[in-house]
Structure 1
Amino acid sequence: MKARLLIIICLLLSIPLQAQIGGKLLDAESQQPLMNVLVRNLNTGRWTLSDRNGVFEISVKSFPVKLQYHLLGKVDQTHSYTKAQQQVRILLKDDNLSIDEVQVVAKRKKQSTGSNLVLQKQAIELVQAQSVADVMQLIPGKPLSESDLHERQLLTLRSAIFNETTKFNKNQGLGYNNNEYLLNNSFGVGYLVDDMPLNNNVNMTGGRGVTLKSGVFANLEENSSVGVGVDLKNLSLENIESIEVVQGISSARYGDHNTGLIKIKKAHGYTPLRVNANLRGGSYGINLTQGFELKNNQGFLNFGVDYLNSNSDPRSVLSAFERINTSLSWSYRRKKKFENRLTVQYGQNINSYNTLENAITNRTKGFDNKSIRISNASTWFTNASWLDKLEVSSLLSYGKNVSRSISEKNTGGTPIINSLDEGTFELSYTPVSFFASEVIENKPFSFFNRIELSKSFKTASARYAFNFGTNLGIDKNFGRGNYSENDLKLLSTPDRVGYRNVNFNSLVPADVKFSSYVTSKISTKLFGKIWVTDLGLRYDLYNGISMLSPRLNTKLSLSRKLKARFGAGLFAKSPSLQSLFPGNLYYDFVIADFRTNNYSFALGHTFVRKYETPNIKPSKTLKFETGLDYTTKSYSASLTGYFNKQYDGFTNQRYFEIAQLPEFSYTFHPDRAPDYVQIGTTPTLLDYRRATNSLEATNYGLEVLLAIRKIRSINTSFNINAAYRYTRTFSDLPGYTKSKDSSSEPFIGLLRPVPQTYKTFNSTITATHHVPSIGLVITLTAEQFFNADTSIPERDRYAYAYYDRNMQYHNIPEQDRGLDKYIPIRSTNNNLGASSSRLETFYGNYHLRVAKEFESGLRFSFYAINFLNHRPILERINSDGELTYSELNRPISFGGSVSYKF
């Protein structure tokens, strides 16, 4: 019996619980060992590091397995293994222009089950970008053009919307465009920096929900991006290692977005000192990065500094833009047990305020922005049967941004209305000449915490990886809000909506978000074919509203070359604080203004309408995506079709109210202000807007990517992409017309809304001539624009309902809508017929980029947008017979950069 027991024990001990893969990592050029190379098991997420001799060993539970070898400054390698090995020899090449192939465009992420695109560091550097906005033009379907650093840079994804200013090869979706649907699209794009959320939900501004450019979309001029997304020109490229673009179905791990997800990965670890300087148009910048190892195995420090200065119009100092961004990170790894990353980022606009003087007026305007982000991510690895690793991530973000507009006024004295209460008041006057200022101070604060548990295991038929996590987010604005430094509230005309000091800290409570999720990755076989599926379910609690969001991405390998993809999911974007807490409305009226040599007397009345917190729901999008990927040794191709249905989009709903404005009689005196007594009231219309969920958009389209690997005989590779996009927009909010006839009983007419459709089709061909032996890359990009079409169906000029003078609602029977009684509320718009704006010609645009790298580490780069200065002219005959001309391309623009790696 003892002998049998001893044999069983020996047999059990002889069975390895985990197989080992080991070997050596060497520099491809010098054949010297590489230390601290990260060897990661892509199946389980487990990792190890190579030692000073380049030796590594990693435990593997099951085969086949994929290992990734990663070291900053080197080209990543991924290898598959079907059995244990101890003599692996990996040669890593420097990530420079001497490698066999360089990446200059966005490419499909190989490990993804969806349509994710990846921009590696090489592509980011070769585009010679000054901010993330420039890099985003590499997304298929985006036109290439010189970006404007003096307007907000917003990213939109998979939308065909354009207007006449963006139609002809402009910064479509990246520039100044106040289309509500585009703003919802840009607001719905989520951003992650090292897996930590970055958003603009907390900022607020003036205007407090009064006009179309207020409320949800607040004061949208030039640099303001409040309530509409992240301004990409403030995101520098210092220390960025890669950018992943998820236009389709993102993991249930990520929430608070419904358009797409941008995942920015920063460099952490050892990197040589690198300095980069660039010049383009009226701007220049300098970037410095380095990472080094601390003594006694205490990890690595990595820092970066990025400075940018730009002035689009040297004749006006008001257009200057200047910023500096810095980052410092400490990363530490303890083999098989623990890893930690602590990051501090600080950014500031340092030009502050600029003044323009001339003979008429002095104007000063500026935007002072400071922000700091502190994040920490820790991971513990265990050998427990129920847990592989525990991740805890935390983020603290705080900022202060102050926008100030100051102008000299010479109005001869104007009545001031600045009451915070409703009623009639005697008014004071401004000085004859003075400086008026309006200041908005935001102090956005955000806290984010994520706790995640992970477990992977394998059965006889499948491999499973599960993640369970919870998120807690708190957003708060501690700013002074709207205030005027001299407290002068001007009212130049009657019936104007007044503005008041609004303290964000006291007005706006903290916005708390809670989320939890479960995700699973299942790798198995279906009919003998490899089948990988990502499943997830997310629960979110936004603004007191609960939501469940299922997500699915699945990929089936029909053969070694051909793979089929499908994805579906529901996404939600929480409203901004600007929408949730718009503040009070003040309607100011000057009732009397009498001025003599002995006195000045003004009487005013204010109506106050207090906002309760609106019950605004998250904006939602239901997404579907399918595609095919085909890969051979000489080329790879992919075709993706998508359908997105957005609903509950953010907009403003119009409201009307009849208020009673008091009337007074006056007894005048020669030497003092008159006496007055109220004698009645006059009905007065108050017109205002409130945030609501009433926008819908349907987007669908096709995307084609074709990458032809380098043809050795000519040292040239080709990348072709094409995108067809269709967008249909609709809001169920009616249009309105006001009667100008004071005797008509119908007062405000309601017109039925109509949808609007957009279509765009364009393609890009990029030829990359690359000679590794001399470190030369020449890139020629040809854009083709085939279609840009928008159409609106015929709109009804007859009101279907109306409000009378007492604001009572009345339906109008269809057969009666043409009666003379309703002529005063009939639309007088002459453009109510069906309309269409169409690109009536095919045209192209051509761009050139050149980069030369020397063995010393010095690199020179040059680019030219529209380098042929090809500017075709489109002739049009308007409805009135007038001939108009439109230039289809912007003029040539160029720039360059020089970098040195020590």
Structure 2
Amino acid sequence: MSLVANFFAIALGAQDTGGIRGWVEDTQGKPLQFATAKLNLDGVEIASKTTDASGMFEFSTDFLRLDSVTLEVSYVNKATQTIVLKKANYASVIKMTLPNLSLTLNDVVVTGTVKNQNSASSIVFDEEAIRQLQAFSLMDVLNTLPGKKTEAPNLQSPQTINLRTSASDADAINNSFGIAVFIDGVRVSNETNMQSRGLSSRGLGGSLLNAQGETAMDVTYNGFDLRDIPMSNIASIEVIQGIGSARYGDFTNGAILITTKAGKAPYSFTTNINGGSSSFSLTKGLSLGEKAGAVNFSIGYLNSNDDPRDKLKSYDNFNASLKWTKNFSKVVTNSLTINGESNLDDIKADPDDDDRVMSYSKRRNLRISNNTTFNFNKRFFNTASVLLNYSQGKQYTYSQMLFNQPPKGIGYKDTTGIYEGVFIPGNYLAVEEIDGKPIAYSANIDMQTNLLPTAGLQHQLSFGFAFNTSGNTGLGYIVDPNRPRWVNLSNQNERSFSYEDSVRFENNVALYLQDNVRGKMFSRRFNLGLGFRLNFQNGRNNPQPRVSFNYYVHKNWSLSTSYGISFKSPSLAHLYPAPTYFDIPLLNLYTGQVNKSLYLVYTQKVLAKNERLRNAVTYQFEQGVTFNSARIGNGSLFGYYKKNKNGFNTFSEFIPAEIPLYDYTLNEDGTIAYFPTGEQGKVWELKRSRMNNGLSSVDYGLQLSFQTKFVPVIATSFGLRAGYTVSKYTGGNLTTTELASDVAQQNGVVYVQYINKQRTSRESIVSFTTSTHIPKVGFIVNTVIDYQPLLKQRWEAQNIYPVAYTLYTGEVIVPSPEAARNDALAYLRKGFGEADQEQLVIPSKGFWNFNMRVAKEIKKSIRLSVSAFNVLNMKPKAYKISNNNGSDSVGIYNYRPLSITIGASLQL
């Protein structure tokens, strides 16, 4: 490591001296090593340094030309301190004293704060805000974003997040899949997860394995399961919902940037209990001396049981992390992190269940990353970092059920042809297994310059290189032909499919350049961000320009405008689904004796690889205004428009097959002899699901947040956050093909095409918050009152008129719109002979939800917390109106009963 540092030091020259300098200490006067000191200009970070063993930090002399700058210093388990430095202060050595986080401090931030960091609309949660939320998982933190509902913890099913959309179904899955999660700069993704049933017979939604109660056990094709991210060692969270810096890529709908703790910290034990869920964590930061650095470790355990009275289903998560940080010199700082976690979504067999139903999902993951940072303080270069990461997991999904039914014939060969299948007994324990072994490697090199003055402007360049490769070497989908879980489903049967033999490693390479330009226009300050990222993914080049502009129209007011294009590559499950096996019985003769029975079957194997699948792309525009007043408070209002194209979805593909016809005779010994008749038959109903870029949608809306300053008279501050989103699903698959009705087939029609249903959905949430804080006694009360107007939603009946139809001869007829609506083709209308589909209307009457959190600190070492969700146990109602007779019905809408979380933390 020292050789690398010396090489960079020699290549770039000796360090400058005499820049902005200072030291960081605790309230006992002891220096704090590995504290983070940041310089911010107009709310944007322009430089970051880490303190050495003596608590010292130093910035380049290039920053001395600034008239003023904001210095922000943070450290694990300490309250962040911020001061504004004027030019006259630069020559002084600045001392920053950081007190321990405590409810006895005057300024306690309990919510996320809008900051112009890696995005104009970034929302940042610091360590105290995270602690206040009593979060079981990252989802509990993200539920406090503008436009999100306050909900009680729920660990029984995978947790994925959607940002800036009111989408559902496949659109919601794509939105979540397009959200990236970065932990200390390392992107953790769900792209290597292949724990799903055959896509061909079940489509996108039906391919996921479900537990008892239809709870999904895995999130294949979806975003990252947020339950897998331990909360105990998180120092801060930044949520990018808009256009992010060019440094971050391979996401279309947002990014979550997580920073973990580093540096000396006391033992901290935290526990939370909510109904059948409980969490326990232990963290500690150990100082190893000036030369050896510091080690931070954390151990966490989550347990959840949906109903404590029923021990059949439980969720358990064990996690542990170790982070070693060391200053090798004044130039080089290195962090080595090892994370491990193991999940057990366990469902035990019910001894009273005659069907012996049981299913579970096990996951184990190991991630090792190393980040080397070089602090040059040179005239041109400021910092550089080299980030290496390796991760490997083990996933195993299991499902079983006892069958008791008549014997069935089944095909088992994995090649196209005619052969004698087998009869499986009617009574057996059917088993379904999926074995995955995801592996990923990545390397990132990032560099940042100091401020470069040019023609009255100040430029700061960031540029870098990223590479990652991922694969899955598991056994894959394991099928025992003697006891298959699914038999002749849609004329299909599964075969074993090895991921190791069939899935290749996917490589992604990216280059980026970001220029942050600062200056004045009409005597007012502005920041201009010009970014460009070029990704090489799946053999395609994806240019991604991004631009942001921030202008201060007043000392308290600023306007921002951003535009960007971003791409998301498909996962391995999208690219490498198992082949399709159509099993068509030619003779199905069961006599009661297997050796005297015959199941003659024709198998047609159709490959399903999607290596030509394109990357999803999002074009996003964002306009915002922010307000910041030392006397009143701070707030922001952002409007956004997103156009999403090439999303991942499935469509129905019919594959007609010509098969020879067979006849048979009975031999004297009772066996069956068969022979071809010389005639051919045609099977039209063979259908499978195929993955394509068949989703297009538009999302637009508003996000508002405001937080007042603390009002001393009533010891309270007030807040407001709100979101309104409209989502329109236009669909890339404009039509869908269906097998014609029996009446239509009698008229010689086999397939009919209809226009896909187009939908529009709306969603709105308004949250009113209060925070009453009494520092003298270490007491705080937070209330969150959600109001959700039930905006009118209409599910229009699907277009019932055909746009094309196919005859038995193979001829495709495209009728005119007038002919399609003529009664002569009434037999081709969708739902012919059935009642019209129901139309659902929800009145715009809204409902309220009241939530409260209370925390009390005892002697600055013990903290007791209680959170109550839906305190008034309100039961909102909605109406369903039928098109047929105008009758309506009333039902409970989105009801969540009263839920209480009790927590405690102890620091030693």
TM score, norm. by length of structure 2 = 0.91
1:592 is aligned to 2:594? no
- Structure 1 residue 187, shift from structure 2 partner: 0.6
1:319-371 deviations in Å (ceiling 9; x for gaps) = 21111011111111245401111111001024656222325211221111101
1:860-894 deviations in Å (ceiling 9; x for gaps) = 11111101112243455544425332245311111
Name the residue aligned to 2:645: 647
- 1:146-185 matched pairs, under 5 angstroms: 146-161=152-167, 179-185=169-175
Report which stretch shifted further, 396-405 or 793-802.
Answer: 793-802
Aligned in 2, Cα 1:217/1:464: closer, same or farther, shift over 3 Å?
A: farther
1:857 is aligned to 2:861? yes
- Choose which of 816, 820, 825 in structure 1 pairs with 2:819: 816
Aligned in 2, Cα 1:495/1:854: closer, same or farther, shift over 3 Å?
A: closer
Aligned to 2:166, the other structure's residue is in SS state coil
The answer to whether the 8 Å contact 1:48/1:335 transfers is no
1:516 is aligned to 2:514? no
Name the residue aligned to 2:713: 713
- Choose which of 80, 104, 116 in structure 2 pairs with 1:98: 104
Name the residue aligned to 1:498: 493
1:45-91 deviations in Å (ceiling 9; x for gaps) = 25252655x66655432223333222211111232322323253433
Aligned in 2, Cα 1:863/1:814: closer, same or farther, shift over 3 Å?
A: same
- Structure 1 residue 218, shift from structure 2 partner: 4.8
The answer to whether the 8 Å contact 1:417/1:491 transfers is no
1:412-464 deviations in Å (ceiling 9; x for gaps) = 53333211112222232334532221100111111111112322233262222
Aligned in 2, Cα 1:677/1:761: closer, same or farther, shift over 3 Å?
A: same
Aligned to 2:516, the other structure's residue is in SS state strand
The answer to whether the 8 Å contact 2:281/2:298 transfers is yes
1:402 is aligned to 2:359? no
Name the residue aligned to 1:167: none
1:467 is aligned to 2:466? no
1:604 is aligned to 2:596? no
Q: Which amino acid aligns with 2:848?
A: G
1:788-837 deviations in Å (ceiling 9; x for gaps) = 33335564322111112244322112332244553332211768789553
CA distance in 2, matches of 1:796, 1:504: 40
CA distance in 2, matches of 1:80, 1:897: 37
Name the residue aligned to 1:354: 348
- Structure 1 residue 766, shift from structure 2 partner: 0.8
Name the residue aligned to 1:117: 123
Q: Which amino acid aligns with 2:742?
A: K
Name the residue aligned to 2:829: 826
Name the residue aligned to 1:681: 680
CA distance in 1, matches of 2:536, 2:835: 44
Q: Which amino acid aligns with 1:243?
A: I
Name the residue aligned to 1:202: 192
Aligned to 1:184, the other structure's residue is in SS state helix
The answer to whether the 8 Å contact 1:212/1:652 transfers is no
Q: Which amino acid aligns with 2:190?
A: N
Aligned in 2, Cα 1:381/1:20: closer, same or farther, shift over 3 Å?
A: closer
Aligned to 2:227, the other structure's residue is in SS state helix
CA distance in 2, matches of 1:439, 1:217: 13
- Choose which of 654, 657, 665 in structure 2 pairs with 1:656: 654
Name the residue aligned to 2:8: none
Aligned in 2, Cα 1:616/1:327: closer, same or farther, shift over 3 Å?
A: same
- Structure 1 residue 473, shift from structure 2 partner: 1.0
The answer to whether the 8 Å contact 2:16/2:60 transfers is no
TM score, norm. by length of structure 1 = 0.92
Aligned to 2:772, the other structure's residue is in SS state strand
Aligned in 2, Cα 1:107/1:296: closer, same or farther, shift over 3 Å?
A: closer
CA distance in 2, matches of 1:897, 1:781: 18
Name the residue aligned to 1:166: none
The answer to whether the 8 Å contact 2:655/2:687 transfers is yes
- 1:266-415 matched pairs, under 5 angstroms: 266-314=260-308, 316-334=310-328, 336-350=330-344, 354-382=348-376, 386-415=380-409
Aligned to 1:605, the other structure's residue is in SS state strand
1:167-218 deviations in Å (ceiling 9; x for gaps) = xxxxxxxxxxxx0111110111111011100100111144433145349965
Q: Which amino acid aligns with 1:671?
A: D
1:127 is aligned to 2:133? yes
The answer to whether the 8 Å contact 1:874/1:888 transfers is no
The answer to whether the 8 Å contact 1:130/1:237 transfers is yes
CA distance in 1, matches of 2:487, 2:386: 56
Q: Which amino acid aligns with 1:883?
A: S
- Choose which of 467, 475, 492 in structure 2 pairs with 1:480: 475
CA distance in 2, matches of 1:50, 1:478: 43
Q: Which amino acid aligns with 1:364?
A: M
Aligned in 2, Cα 1:468/1:586: closer, same or farther, shift over 3 Å?
A: same
5+ long unaligned stretches in structure 1 = 1-15, 163-178
Q: Which amino acid aligns with 1:290?
A: K
- Choose which of 619, 622, 634 in structure 2 pairs with 1:622: 619
Name the residue aligned to 1:871: 875
Aligned to 1:358, the other structure's residue is in SS state coil
CA distance in 1, matches of 2:747, 2:80: 76
Aligned to 2:794, the other structure's residue is in SS state strand
Aligned to 1:331, the other structure's residue is in SS state strand
Name the residue aligned to 2:849: 845
The answer to whether the 8 Å contact 2:429/2:483 transfers is no
Number of residue pairs aligned between Structure 1 and Structure 2: 869
1:227 is aligned to 2:221? yes
CA distance in 2, matches of 1:629, 1:613: 45
Aligned in 2, Cα 1:230/1:490: closer, same or farther, shift over 3 Å?
A: closer
- Choose which of 514, 518, 538 in structure 2 pairs with 1:543: 538
- 1:550-589 matched pairs, under 5 angstroms: 550-589=545-584
Give percent identity, aligned residues only: 25
Q: Which amino acid aligns with 1:778?
A: V
CA distance in 1, matches of 2:185, 2:544: 20
| Coordinate RMSD, CA, aligned | 2.5
Q: Which amino acid aligns with 2:724?
A: Y
Aligned to 1:125, the other structure's residue is in SS state helix
- Structure 1 residue 374, shift from structure 2 partner: 0.6
Q: Which amino acid aligns with 1:382?
A: F
Name the residue aligned to 1:4: none
The answer to whether the 8 Å contact 1:48/1:336 transfers is no
CA distance in 1, matches of 2:486, 2:77: 61
Name the residue aligned to 1:752: 755
Aligned in 2, Cα 1:408/1:702: closer, same or farther, shift over 3 Å?
A: same
Aligned in 2, Cα 1:853/1:660: closer, same or farther, shift over 3 Å?
A: same
Q: Which amino acid aligns with 1:865?
A: F
- Structure 1 residue 465, shift from structure 2 partner: 1.3
- Choose which of 444, 447, 451 in structure 2 pairs with 1:453: 447
- Structure 1 residue 695, shift from structure 2 partner: 1.1
Aligned to 2:143, the other structure's residue is in SS state helix
CA distance in 2, matches of 1:494, 1:664: 23
Q: Which amino acid aligns with 2:192?
A: V
Name the residue aligned to 2:726: 726
1:762-789 deviations in Å (ceiling 9; x for gaps) = 2001111111111111111111112433
5+ long unaligned stretches in structure 2 = 1-14
Name the residue aligned to 1:695: 695
Name the residue aligned to 2:5: none
The answer to whether the 8 Å contact 2:158/2:216 transfers is yes
- Structure 1 residue 124, shift from structure 2 partner: 1.3
The answer to whether the 8 Å contact 2:118/2:240 transfers is no
The answer to whether the 8 Å contact 2:479/2:494 transfers is no
The answer to whether the 8 Å contact 1:749/1:826 transfers is no
CA distance in 1, matches of 2:558, 2:144: 24
1:767 is aligned to 2:770? yes
Name the residue aligned to 1:169: none
